[in-house]
Amino acid sequence: MTATILDCDPGLDDVMAILLAARTLDLVGITVTHGNAPLSATLRNTRQILEFANLTHIPIAAGMARPLLRSPQSALEIHGQAGLGGVVLPEPSIALHELHAVDFIIAQSHRTPGLQLVPTGPLTNIATALLKDPSLPQRLSQICLMGGSTGAGNTTPSAEFNIYADPEAAQIVFTSGIPIKMVGLNVTRQVPAMAERRAQVRAIGNQTAILAADLLDFFSLQVQRIFGLPGGAMHDPLAVAVLLDPELVQFQPMHVAIELRGEHTYGMTVCDQRPIASVELDADASVRRSIPPNAQVAIAVNTERFWELFLNVLATYA
């Protein structure tokens, strides 16, 4: 099994990713970044969830508190003022790892060449590690990230939150040469936690599943209130699930560029979906030659298959 670091910003759907990854991947650590809430909250939330679910053997490393260049963003209107909706958990006692998240990623890449990263928040930790150690791509097998979209955004009409929160970091990651799987809004929104799915989660009956159901209830209520959608999408756990089941999600190779200057498109993932990526054109051709793909981009998902996997994993908890 491939050694994995989950890089996250809990956040309600990040909790689902943690619960799924901890039971199914060789999870050598969790690195935490700013994003859905400030770093102080995302760190507390990560520690609380690991203690609640008896996962305290997994190291937690504190990461970057702000984006590379811009002011910090957050999504508290979706995730609640503490980042975990209305759920109140005991103050955590688990200690943080002695290394900063950036150094933890670099150190683990030396310890386990072929390491894979699963970022489910802004890409600041990953980009900073790449800036600090330019040889890092040689030791990573892939990055499977939740972020971006082939179409509409959610934070702006064109930009998804994780990319919008630090587009400059995303630019560094997408131009790093590391094999990338991009799991974006265009597929994650096809896996909503509708009321009947939340009832299935709650019916599992263990305390971890009941907590997950409570979090998904809050998430879905906020998404319905703000966007008019009937259920919170399972954004982050889907980025974990694609590593577990190769038949779950269909991918297509594309070149993904990060828009850094557009007045209305800042933070957009510009996905070249034209079927001409390998065609050589004359200099005077009316269609510009596509840039070679730099990512495998998710385009379709088997929703039933995802929920079967997720529910089965939740059933393994106490």
How far apart CA 136 and CA 266 sit, in angstroms, is: 27
235 is catalytic: yes
> Span 170-193, mean pLDDT?
98
Q: What is the pLDDT of residue 290?
A: 61
Q: Which of 29-43, 242-256, 273-287, 300-314 has the lowest mean pLDDT?
A: 273-287
The amino acid sitting at 10 is P
Pick the catalytic residue: 79, 235, 255, 264? 235
284: pLDDT strictly greater than 80: no
Spell out the residues 6+ positions from residue 37 whose beta carbon is closer than 8 angstroms to its own.
9, 10, 11, 45, 74, 75, 76, 79, 82, 83
Q: How would you class 256 by CB atoms within 10 Å of its CB: exposed for 0-12, middle for 13-18, buried for 19 or more?
A: buried
- Of the pLDDT bands very low, low, confident and very high (cuts 50, 70, 90), residue 289 is low
Residue 87 main-chain phi, psi, to 5 deg: -80, 135
What pLDDT is stored for residue 291 in this prediction? 79
| pLDDT for 215 | 98
CATH code assigned to 3-314:
3.90.245.10
**296-307: average pLDDT:** 98
Confidence of residue 48 (pLDDT cuts 50, 70, 90): very high
Q: What is d(CA 63, CA 101) in angstroms, rounded to the nearest whole number?
A: 5
| Whether pLDDT at 90 is above 70 | yes
pLDDT-based confidence at residue 275 (cuts at 50, 70, 90): confident
Q: What average pLDDT does the segment 14-38 reach? A: 98
pLDDT per position as a tens digit, 98-145? 999 999 999 999 999 999 999 999 999 999 999 999 999 999 999 999
| Signed CA dihedral, 13, 15, 17, 23: sign only | negative
Report in angstroms the alpha-carbon separations of 312 from 58, 234, 250, 307.
21, 16, 22, 8
250-273: average pLDDT? 96
Determine the average pLDDT of the residues in 267-289.
70
